Structure 1
Amino acid sequence: MGILKRIKPYIYLLVVITSPLHSATDVNLQLRWRHQFQFAGYYMAIEKGYYQAQELSVSLIEGGPNAFHPVDNLINQKADFAISGSGAIISHIQGKPIVALAAIMQSSPLIWITLKKNNLTRPHDLTNKTLSILNPIESAELLTVFKKENISLSNINFKQTNFTVDNLIDEKTHALNAYISNEPFLLQQKNIEYNIINPVDYGVNFYNDVLITHSKLAKSSPELVKVFTKASLQGWQYAFSHIDETVELIHAKYAPHKSIEHLRYEALQLKKLVMPELVTIGHMNPGRWQKIANNYYELGMVKSTDNISDFIFNPNDSRSPWFVHYMVISGLIISLLSIITWRFAYLTTSLRKEIKRRRYAENSLVSVNKKLKILATSDPLTKIYNRRAFFDKGHALLNLAHRKNLPITLFMIDLDNFKSINDEYGHKTGDRVLTSLCDTLHNKLIREHDIFARIGGEEFAILMLDCGIQNAESIALRILNCAHHLQIPTEKQTQLDVTVSIGISEIGMSEISHDIETCLNQADKALYQAKQQGRDQFVIYTHSDIA
């Protein structure tokens, strides 16, 4: 009891020093553009009190064509947080103090839009044409499409956009750097037909509307950054769960210049890009950031891609200035209490050893389970999904397509004359054909939410969400082209020509059927017809009998 009396003042001192302040911390957020649904999550985090619950008072700085770039305002410390495109990683590679906190859009809204009457529907159609575009960093995904299609950028006449559709309508430009959530609506309102060239359809899939902050703030106040990010993502979750309420509020308080119809159209289009039902809002994959950086490197926008390991914010890498203070006071208390706690040292040590032993056993079990799960769901040769995983994940994707009224397309792919390849060149060459085809399709076509699986020996299936029949035809042609360009070394030192046949089955937005086996059977019939017609082609299944 005498010891407790002596340490009691120090305990009071520790409580007083470490007690949190209850006054709200003022921070500001630089928006990327004018007020619109694009920033709905931040509006709702303010309106629903998510920031206030974290003792934050947040001010929004509106962007626009004449405003400073969000990254510049952040670097100059005129903003605590900012919204940027994937181009923020360029600044980070160049050594500028930027870290990424969350990627709101899993796919970019940037598209090329053209007038339907001009019949410009593919990247190759834009060769030697005039294109209105933002600066290259903001539009890298649009430029990467040309790289993917082996189109030289020197063969295109780029000019600075004026941020309106007028130049497109007046035919002063052939294609416009547009947002899928904005310009299509404006053209629809004017009854003008248009075409869209979407980078996602060509294997280009960048993050967009990335929440970023200054490295200095991330290091000095990691907890503030952490709670700001958490509250912002809560706001986004609420916005997409209550679209009508959010649209009404934005129109009334933030963006009266936009109609209710325009804001609702924007909300529905952006929800498809955020994919809150499939991916945790704000999710970022380091490997995908590496691929994005590689694309910037290929475009000549960065000189290397080595310096990206610390681009994603990790609160455990930073220490608050209060950390040392807490440690000193805690050390004092621990030293005083050690007089009465030494008798428990042996028990504590034994307990820690037991916890460590059990934790090691648990981690080992988790590791083994992960390996078993991979073995159970992936094909050992091609490393893509196996037949069992295709059916498990395919059912879920079909159900999601039905709930969201999205078209979904199944491609059945079969290597032509594969038995002849094995007989003439051997099974090792046959395996190289299979793995080369899978690697090529995975790198050039498969999106993050697509399902790509090996169904049988030389048969593969691709299930693509939000893919209508017009896009399916374009994708099928690209699959055939990928097979034509495979270069497979053989022991006979000869050129091995590879072709595939493709059967396509589409489940439209109005379809009732959600049976993956039925869909696969339809694609298989179309595949059989493609082979009967001479191979190296695709056939689309006609399912007019499906209600």
Structure 2
Amino acid sequence: MRPCFDWRRGGRWLALLCACGALLAPHAFAGAPTAPAEKGSGAAAATPMVSESTSDAATLTPVTLQLKWQHQFQFAGYYAAAARGYYRDVGLDVRFQEADGKHDPTDAVFEGRAEFGVGNSDLLLRFARGQKPVVLAVIFQHSPLAMMMLDPSGVGSLHSIAGRPVMIEPAAAELFAYLRREGLAPGSFTLVPHGFHPDDLRSGKVEAMSVYSTDEPFLLTQSQTPFALYSPRTSGIDFYGDNLFTTEQMVNERPAVVAAFRQASLRGWHYAMEHQEEIIDLILQKYSQRKSRDHLRYEAAHMAPLVQPGPVDIGYTYPGRWQHIADIYAELGMLPPGISLDGLLYEPDAWHISRWMTWMMFGLLGAVLSALLFSLQIFHNNRRLATEASLRRQIEASLQLSERRYRTIYEEAPLAFILLDRGAHVAGWNSNAERIFGWNAGEMLGRSIERMVIPEDMPKVREVLDQVLIGGGVRHSVNHNLTRDGRVIVCEWSNSQEINADGEVIGVLCLAQDATERFRMREELEGANQSLRTQIAQIQALQSQLLEQTLRDPLTGVFNRRYLEETRPREFARAQREGYAIAFLFLDIDRFKQINDELGHEVGDDALRQVAALLLAHARTEDIVCRFGGDEFIVLLPNMAQAAALARARQICAACAELTLGSGEGATALSVSIGVALYPEHGQTDAELARAADLALYAAKSGGRNRVALARTDSRTPTPGDA
């Protein structure tokens, strides 16, 4: 983040005048802290910012930190900074504000309900919309956000969420980017509000949910529930996580508070990662007992490889990686391409002076200048030549040092470093370029870049170079390049303008690395993944076919008794919950044994198939038709009253009476008898209702067959009806 005023960039006169102003008005900057010392700098700790006495709580500056979630080890560094007095040492009284799980917690910072917040890489999207977040520090070098699914078979696939309900928490744009890269656009699944508990997976409420790899998996591991985690990193989306941020307005208006809060927070994070058990005790005693000690230990252990407190200094952030994140968002249509990130990242080494202090300082300097004008003129005349000579020697020494540093970086860079003039001719060629492409500098200087690019890729290379020369910025590309021995390799390129001392664009700076092996491995991996996806699809199709065979009667094609036994309790539970009736039709074929004995089993099978087809023809979408056994069929009619159920049964009975078996003189008529019972009039449970329908069927048979009988509510004797 660029401050309103950067002392390092001021001139010699401004430095001299400020020194004079400080001598004449030593209290003008009372309470302003020095820039906080970074870890490992060897500098002394920052002085209190609001008052010289930080022991009195009334003199502390109150600020609020909006947490990304509820109290847990995820925010251990901030708890440590408060408990160890690091915030108090720099004059701050910090309050922690939990997230409610319903709203994006970063809104609290932009709406003025908190000065600081913890956010994901979604801050880039807000930056593009003009909300002006400023990232102060990165806590997770690798984001813990992932998608979690149950996986009892061990061969699950993320693509099974298509058409299914999915929970994704607010401010998780990197997961949407990951799903888009996997071919799963937001419209291909149903997004439901997040419940933030794996029970939603176990109950089947959702197919997948967003989680922190450091948190929710503990619950499934503890219950020995098989699951699978799908990390965006498997698709090349490696974002930062839990970024400490504030707003541009806060940095400009209260720079000292921002610098102090950042310094104390990072100091707390170093302490927390080195004293994990102590911070776990602190969380359980002071902040929350929502999680067990073992859960907090699990979270701490799985955070360490993501925070990387040893190899990487906590809080470190790299502008190039933020640009890479922006490029991925742009690739997926979530950001405009080529967006400038100027102002997104905080510059902790600059001395920030607020706007009103800047005006006051210039006013003071004007007064001092008027009072000392005569003395300064004499001083300037006497010392001008000596100062100019000294300055010239300093500039020359600085230029020589810069040249040596540049030459070292240029020659020792682990990438090919190539300079091109405006006509795309090589003007610079380092040793690593010679190693990758084979040509030495003498063979390439003055030669066109076309010498090392295959003809098919040259139009694209020309286009990228023109974009850099005209539009500036950093342009990334992947090209197929030629080597001196005729091989074709794949290289990744980063290209930017080369500008001379007059500000003129004189060429292009190119960095290249050989990515041939990585791209080959990626292609092989993609081929293997596609083969695996095909096999999984075949297995799933076979599983669906086998499941269908276990639930269908092979002779008639209607559901079998097993399906009825599994479905009937759910239908009755739904009817009880929603308060509607269910009609239960118990049907069998009249004189079926006689048909089998006299006409043969093939005719009997034909009778079963004809009745089943007729029942399906008279069924609604929600009706359930089952072959119960032998010549018995059961039809469940959800949400159907008594009059409609009796009318349906009589329609079925009459339609069956028109069916015939055989043909010609041997044709035989077919008829059925039906018992009808309704929930809740004839039974409160499915067992009671089945018995009532069975008794009604018996009454229909006793009444002469080819008829419908309704169960009675006042006795066990059914009421026979007419066919």
Shorter-chain TM range is: 0.5 to 0.7
The Cα shift of 1:42 comes to: 0.9
SS of residue in 1 equivalent to 2:312: coil
Q: Match of 1:362?
A: 401
Q: Match of 2:287?
A: 254
SS of residue in 2 equivalent to 1:17: coil
What does the per-residue CA deviation read over 1:285-312, in whole Å, with 9 as the maximum and x for residues that have no partner?
2222223223333444445552432211
SS of residue in 2 equivalent to 1:313: coil
Q: Match of 1:108?
A: 143
Does the 8 A contact of 1:93 with 1:305 survive in 2?
no
Q: Structure 1 runs of 4+ off > 6 angstroms?
A: 9-12, 381-384, 429-432, 452-455
- Mark the CA change 1:177 to 1:484 in structure 2 (over 3 Å): closer, same or farther: closer
The Cα shift of 1:151 comes to: 4.1
Q: Which amino acid aligns with 1:113?
A: M
What does the per-residue CA deviation read over 1:471-503, in whole Å, with 9 as the maximum and x for residues that have no partner?
xxxx99744146899xxxxxxxxxxxxxxxxxx
Q: Match of 2:376?
A: 338
Distance 1:372 1:260 in 2: 53
The Cα shift of 1:143 comes to: 2.3
Distance 2:385 2:362 in 1: 24
Distance 2:142 2:151 in 1: 24
Does the 8 A contact of 1:54 with 1:227 survive in 2?
yes
The Cα shift of 1:83 comes to: 1.0
Tell me, yes or no, if structure 1 residue 70 matches structure 2 residue 105: yes
- Mark the CA change 1:125 to 1:383 in structure 2 (over 3 Å): closer, same or farther: farther
Tell me, yes or no, if structure 1 residue 18 matches structure 2 residue 71: no
SS of residue in 2 equivalent to 1:77: coil
Tell me, yes or no, if structure 1 residue 230 matches structure 2 residue 284: no
The Cα shift of 1:357 comes to: 1.8
Q: Of the candidates 60, 64, 72, which is equivalent to residue 36 of structure 1?
A: 72
Q: Match of 1:87?
A: 122
- Mark the CA change 1:375 to 1:186 in structure 2 (over 3 Å): closer, same or farther: closer
Q: Match of 1:529?
A: none
SS of residue in 1 equivalent to 2:489: helix
RMSD of aligned residue pairs (Cα, Å): 3.5
Q: Which amino acid aligns with 2:113?
A: K
Where does structure 1 lack aligned partners over 5 or more consecutive residues? 1-8, 385-424, 440-451, 463-474, 486-547
The Cα shift of 1:374 comes to: 0.8
Q: Match of 1:380?
A: 433
Q: Of the candidates 364, 370, 378, which is equivalent to residue 329 of structure 1?
A: 364
Does the 8 A contact of 1:104 with 1:274 survive in 2?
yes
Does the 8 A contact of 1:114 with 1:175 survive in 2?
yes
Tell me, yes or no, if structure 1 residue 211 matches structure 2 residue 247: no
What does the per-residue CA deviation read over 1:369-422, in whole Å, with 9 as the maximum and x for residues that have no partner?
1112215899537979xxxxxxxxxxxxxxxxxxxxxxxxxxxxxxxxxxxxxx
SS of residue in 1 equivalent to 2:28: helix
Distance 1:359 1:298 in 2: 42
Tell me, yes or no, if structure 1 residue 480 matches structure 2 residue 495: no
Q: Which has the larger radius of gyration?
A: 2
SS of residue in 2 equivalent to 1:372: helix
Distance 1:10 1:115 in 2: 68
- Mark the CA change 1:89 to 1:346 in structure 2 (over 3 Å): closer, same or farther: same
Does the 8 A contact of 1:114 with 1:120 survive in 2?
no
Q: Of the candidates 193, 197, 209, which is equivalent to residue 160 of structure 1?
A: 193
Tell me, yes or no, if structure 1 residue 281 matches structure 2 residue 314: yes
Q: Which amino acid aligns with 1:373?
A: E
- Mark the CA change 1:31 to 1:331 in structure 2 (over 3 Å): closer, same or farther: same
The Cα shift of 1:427 comes to: 5.8
- Report the number of matched residues: 405
Distance 1:49 1:139 in 2: 33
Higher relative CO (Cα under 8 Å, sequence separation at least 6) belongs to: 1
Does the 8 A contact of 2:256 with 2:352 survive in 1?
no
Q: Match of 1:57?
A: 93
Q: Match of 1:148?
A: 181
The Cα shift of 1:69 comes to: 2.9
What does the per-residue CA deviation read over 1:63-93, in whole Å, with 9 as the maximum and x for residues that have no partner?
2214x53322111211111111111121111
Distance 2:333 2:218 in 1: 34
Does the 8 A contact of 1:243 with 1:267 survive in 2?
yes
Distance 1:141 1:293 in 2: 11
Distance 1:371 1:298 in 2: 31
Q: Which amino acid aligns with 1:15?
A: P
Where does structure 2 lack aligned partners over 5 or more consecutive residues? 1-19, 32-49, 52-58, 417-430, 438-479, 494-511, 530-723
- Mark the CA change 1:278 to 1:483 in structure 2 (over 3 Å): closer, same or farther: farther
SS of residue in 2 equivalent to 1:15: coil
